[in-house]
Structure 1
């Protein structure tokens, strides 16, 4: 009950009421209005009682000498000599600082609940009865090791197991983050919580409950969350020597001068309220600045850690790439053209639901290629498709499927080796009795991925790629964007282990990702960034920072913002300590009394807040510059050899529709006026 009352008094509403009482006291003091009860008592009771309780609780139960103790002593001393306003002022400033800091470190906890909801609750058990195979739906709690379960297309796999019958493709991005479905057949391992996309699979259970891969993922997120210690206020870290020093100076001033008022004034001006406000106000301003750029920062600790960052680890799919497959290569191996190979392949792939098939069909549609319908369509899950039209018998699928029907030439094998080395997905197209072409598909690299990596390197930050994709794919994409250290084929716990390894080496580590499988590593890193619009809810909730527009070019901006925030915090701390030092000297000399000391003390707090507020409108993005003359107009396009974003007006002729730079081709924005 007592704790609940303290929480109410320390809450936002009652702190506002306390501030109103303090304002009334100032008005009465300035205007000379006498009141039977000093309004400052309202602030003392509302903000002072929780402060007194907090100081005693930390001192008695936690054995912790905190800044709250020093302010409580100053408050009681002020009340003892009748300086109620001074007592009210320090109590209210402390309450306000606590609210600001609590606001900046508040963290969302919904992600773990969403992760737990991914766990399937039922399974389809296969058993024999009267010599015949039967199936029934049972709870996952009833499933035992070595039970045989059937998983239909579109169902989640309820346990970890091994395929004993059937072929299919499994979307296991929830566990590994792989951008492509993985083909599964007899003897292949499957994971709990992954999605069976096409064929019927019979699997034998190999692990249950807490031993399943998904449950281990959940446990990793829980453990990583528990390791995140709350940020301790700077003033509290220094309180063990602030309190005795303040008491010694105050006592010395009283003894030396014989004036207790001077000793109390020392205690009032010694209160570290400006020090307490130094961090949360700068953090609030920086968070506001980031919000304007479409970035959600959940805690002040994240900003502080970014400033000390030495290593950034990236996931690949959906982070450095868009996470959607596109046709990248069409290679005829016979007498057909690229368009003819695409048309023949699309004829059968149009009827398939596989993501690779959809990408091929979309490519044919984008190229406006006429596609003839097929008959006798057959789909072989995890292998390929077949159909017949006027061209003849069409086959499209993976290498194993095509080998069953065709001889693969050395020339074709060379093409396949080259495409495999680039980490591309491959569909081989066969017609009648020959292989006529290869269609390769690849994830698309974000246009700004390379510039992001370059900017981070300029800021002295090491970049690393951690991905569930195979090593060849990972190396290919890393080379494209300029990352030299690559680790592929990683499960969630292995990503986490790499993050921990970097941390143990003395690095401050940032993890950037977008998937459920990234959540443990996001939680474990010193600071983490999730892709907000395409990332999973679990990744967003696990991360400290969310990029709401998925613009990874904001990561170097975040680093610069954090550096400036840390500088502002340190400057504010130095400023507050200097003001306190001057005020202490003036208090000892009798130039300040408790009331004027409280006003000076309050002025110091205001200076700290105003300096922190300047962060809000500062420009930290070096690529966003005003440009009126870097471009030349050829009547159709604006051309530039610089990588700039135009903020001022650009005057162009009527025909201009695009702006070209050496990195980007941008559509003409509304702020660029046409003549």
Structure 2
């Protein structure tokens, strides 16, 4: 992108070129031919100086120098005394440069939007009143007020509900409601009533400030790639000189040579490539993808290998509750209530995940008393009159009787590479929580789309054990899994892969920075990732969505394709014009005017790269998707009851088994089935109409039918059980149905979450 100085210089060149040409034309009829020639000659000098400077710079850098032909044409015109021709060539070049500035400024508007969006002040509660302060004065713990239409000045936790327009950060066009207690990032716009915020960072260290630094750094570094133009120039310049020599040999007329050089002035090479590349960068910026340079965009378009770090890139980067294990007679929500209530007083990294899980299920937490924390092990305290311990198995088992299921639960944690938090109440182990770093909802779809886009070699890098990494790799369908990787190992893998192609590396952590820097294209998850990774990367995903990389890949390829089309179009027309000039059918003046038309056509074609590649359509709002996800979270405790009752069924006394089976059947009828029926009868038909095609929701509806079948079978079997309990064969059949229902529900919920997430992606 042209700097302000360059833009002003190009505008001055255009003004001088127009002024001198018109002044000479005005003086010529007044029999001042000599004056006109002098005016035209003087007007050419500034452009001649610029061309000499640019050509010398290209030669020093050992580049092809696409300005060489333009310089040669002006020098030859001056040598032949064709001052008017030289003036028209100068005007042609100046107007081309001005047109490039205009196109670049139009293309960079999206790149600059965030910089203009930055807040400059905030309202802080101080000494019993709200005071307007400079944004630099914000500190963690400050209570801030954000009024309607103001930008959130710092990261923080909401003290009151808020309606936020996050389009500048995420591209989501509709305002999103956020509840009190939610963490929000700076940079969002208040689209509703004023709300209060408890700052968790200073403005300087906020999410938005980090994005602004990246944007500013990128704008300082950005210069449209000329590599593509240089490659074409290597062919075009010798061809032009050959045709000019041919014209001289067959006619011995330097005017023909001049005409050839005039129409060969490579403005499509000089202008079309940078405009297309900058436009491609602009279209990426519209989708929340910051590409720091034109060269990075070109390399991304040519990539054939893709490396992903696992944690924080393919996964969310933080622990999420996956399973609640309970002892006989204990409800899963009760275990979560005990753990989350006590964890409110804990600083452990998993405590926040447990408290968040309870809040997502709308569980009202109790206030902990007499809490005592053993750093790195666990915490104990009083909850509603009960003595509760929460933490590692060793910590909890030292204060309570271990549960019979605990050895198997520990083994499952080891197999799955998950974290476990055990819970005891009044000296008895009552349950445990399994927490895992879950896959991002958009990860499977993003990897499928990347493979379809031609990236055939997709590699997952992780420090996990080989068995755990292999399981996840098979689940995702990646080409290769490299487990137990240190930062040095990742660096070696990237360097080795570069020997056979252009490599893209995607990561988010500090330990990913060396690999990001070593790759041909480093891509950082910048919305929540480490600053070191973002600084080392060539591309930063400002939106916390992996599928935006797919869009960036398509837009990079499209920009490069349009750049090549523009060059080939311009060169083709120029070659035809050169042949006409070489045979004496085109004068230098007419050639200059024709070349101007060719330039405009090439520029207009290059500007097509500004258009954002359309996505799959936004078929539901982010709020609708979040509501459906919330409904799934409310049903998670019911899913836990299904699998755990199946586990305990053989050990239950007959009447107790009948009682618990009856309660489960009633819960399925009252909560699960209405949810699935509402989706099948109302949501799925609407999505099918929007998606189009021949019954696109057929597979999902088929899963509903299987859920309905199993629940009906369970209901009938449970209704027919004798009062003294099921027989051993009946227990086996009930277990089979319960395990089957548990498996299909987990699979179905995961499919729906991925579907709703993709349909709610802003376009």
**TM-score, normalised with respect to structure 2:** 0.60
Once residues 564 and 93 of structure 2 are traced to their aligned partners in structure 1, the CA distance between those partners, rounded to angstroms, is 24
1:497 equivalent to 2:492? Answer: yes
Once residues 371 and 662 of structure 1 are traced to their aligned partners in structure 2, the CA distance between those partners, rounded to angstroms, is 27
1:568 equivalent to 2:562? Answer: yes
State the 1:98 CA deviation: 8.8
State the 1:638 CA deviation: 5.4
Aligned in 2, Cα 1:372/1:634: closer, same or farther, shift over 3 Å? closer
Once residues 470 and 354 of structure 1 are traced to their aligned partners in structure 2, the CA distance between those partners, rounded to angstroms, is 24
**TM-score, normalised with respect to structure 1:** 0.67
Q: 1:55 corresponds to which residue? A: 55
1:624 equivalent to 2:617? Answer: yes
State the 1:478 CA deviation: 4.1
Aligned in 2, Cα 1:619/1:433: closer, same or farther, shift over 3 Å? closer
Once residues 14 and 486 of structure 1 are traced to their aligned partners in structure 2, the CA distance between those partners, rounded to angstroms, is 53
Q: 1:401 corresponds to which residue? A: 395
1:318 corresponds, among 286, 305, 312, to 312
Q: Residues 451-490 of structure 1: CA distance to partner in whole angstroms, max 9, x if unpaired? A: 1111112222132222345556545554554435333443
1:260 equivalent to 2:263? Answer: no
Aligned in 2, Cα 1:304/1:58: closer, same or farther, shift over 3 Å? closer
Once residues 562 and 668 of structure 1 are traced to their aligned partners in structure 2, the CA distance between those partners, rounded to angstroms, is 23
Query: How do residues 533-572 of structure 1 correspond to structure 2 at under 5 angstroms?
Result: 533-572=527-566
- Give structure 1 stretches of 5+ with no counterpart: 1-6, 109-227, 647-659
Aligned in 2, Cα 1:553/1:668: closer, same or farther, shift over 3 Å? closer
Between 1:283-292 and 1:578-587, the stretch displaced more is: 283-292
Query: How do residues 123-142 of structure 1 correspond to structure 2 at under 5 angstroms?
Result: none
Aligned in 2, Cα 1:58/1:292: closer, same or farther, shift over 3 Å? closer
Q: 1:439 corresponds to which residue? A: 433
Q: 1:130 corresponds to which residue? A: none
How many correspondences in the alignment? 523
1:664 equivalent to 2:664? Answer: no
1:425 corresponds, among 419, 429, 432, to 419
Once residues 287 and 435 of structure 2 are traced to their aligned partners in structure 1, the CA distance between those partners, rounded to angstroms, is 33
Once residues 661 and 291 of structure 1 are traced to their aligned partners in structure 2, the CA distance between those partners, rounded to angstroms, is 29
Once residues 465 and 97 of structure 2 are traced to their aligned partners in structure 1, the CA distance between those partners, rounded to angstroms, is 53
1:639 equivalent to 2:685? Answer: yes
Once residues 354 and 495 of structure 2 are traced to their aligned partners in structure 1, the CA distance between those partners, rounded to angstroms, is 41
Q: 1:384 corresponds to which residue? A: 378
Cα pair 1:561 1:620 within 8 Å, conserved: no
**Equivalent position SS for 1:511:** strand
Aligned in 2, Cα 1:367/1:58: closer, same or farther, shift over 3 Å? closer
Q: 2:458 corresponds to which residue? A: 463
Q: 1:147 corresponds to which residue? A: none
Q: 2:45 corresponds to which residue? A: 45
State the 1:358 CA deviation: 2.2
Query: How do residues 19-38 of structure 1 correspond to structure 2 at under 5 angstroms?
Result: 19-24=14-19, 36=35
Q: 1:70 corresponds to which residue? A: 69
**Equivalent position SS for 1:324:** coil
State the 1:252 CA deviation: 3.6
Aligned in 2, Cα 1:15/1:583: closer, same or farther, shift over 3 Å? same
Cα pair 1:315 1:512 within 8 Å, conserved: yes
Cα pair 2:97 2:271 within 8 Å, conserved: no
Q: 2:10 corresponds to which residue? A: 15
Q: 1:143 corresponds to which residue? A: none
State the 1:614 CA deviation: 2.3
Aligned in 2, Cα 1:509/1:593: closer, same or farther, shift over 3 Å? same
1:590 corresponds, among 584, 593, 597, to 584
Cα pair 2:223 2:294 within 8 Å, conserved: no
**Equivalent position SS for 1:11:** helix
1:304 equivalent to 2:304? Answer: no
State the 1:373 CA deviation: 4.7
Cα pair 1:428 1:437 within 8 Å, conserved: yes
Cα pair 1:246 1:266 within 8 Å, conserved: yes
Cα pair 2:103 2:607 within 8 Å, conserved: no
Query: How do residues 176-255 of structure 1 correspond to structure 2 at under 5 angstroms?
Result: 232-237=226-231, 239=233, 242-255=236-249
Aligned in 2, Cα 1:77/1:496: closer, same or farther, shift over 3 Å? same
Once residues 540 and 590 of structure 2 are traced to their aligned partners in structure 1, the CA distance between those partners, rounded to angstroms, is 45
Aligned in 2, Cα 1:29/1:539: closer, same or farther, shift over 3 Å? farther
Q: 1:92 corresponds to which residue? A: 94
Once residues 26 and 86 of structure 1 are traced to their aligned partners in structure 2, the CA distance between those partners, rounded to angstroms, is 7
Coordinate RMSD, CA, aligned: 4.1
Cα pair 2:555 2:612 within 8 Å, conserved: no
Cα pair 1:641 1:661 within 8 Å, conserved: no
Q: 2:212 corresponds to which residue? A: none
Once residues 339 and 88 of structure 2 are traced to their aligned partners in structure 1, the CA distance between those partners, rounded to angstroms, is 82
1:348 corresponds, among 342, 347, 372, to 342
State the 1:341 CA deviation: 2.0
Once residues 511 and 295 of structure 1 are traced to their aligned partners in structure 2, the CA distance between those partners, rounded to angstroms, is 15
Cα pair 1:643 1:663 within 8 Å, conserved: no
Aligned in 2, Cα 1:84/1:453: closer, same or farther, shift over 3 Å? same
Q: Which has the higher strand share?
A: 1
Cα pair 1:43 1:92 within 8 Å, conserved: no
- Give structure 2 stretches of 5+ with no counterpart: 112-221, 621-677, 693-750
Cα pair 1:10 1:95 within 8 Å, conserved: no
Q: Residues 379-426 of structure 1: CA distance to partner in whole angstroms, max 9, x if unpaired? A: 122222222457654332223434555675663221222233223221
Cα pair 1:78 1:87 within 8 Å, conserved: no
**Equivalent position SS for 1:379:** strand
Once residues 551 and 57 of structure 2 are traced to their aligned partners in structure 1, the CA distance between those partners, rounded to angstroms, is 42
Aligned in 2, Cα 1:75/1:626: closer, same or farther, shift over 3 Å? farther
**Equivalent position SS for 1:336:** coil
Cα pair 1:78 1:594 within 8 Å, conserved: no
Cα pair 1:640 1:662 within 8 Å, conserved: no
State the 1:352 CA deviation: 0.5
Between 1:405-414 and 1:572-581, the stretch displaced more is: 405-414
Once residues 479 and 759 of structure 2 are traced to their aligned partners in structure 1, the CA distance between those partners, rounded to angstroms, is 36
**Equivalent position SS for 1:523:** helix
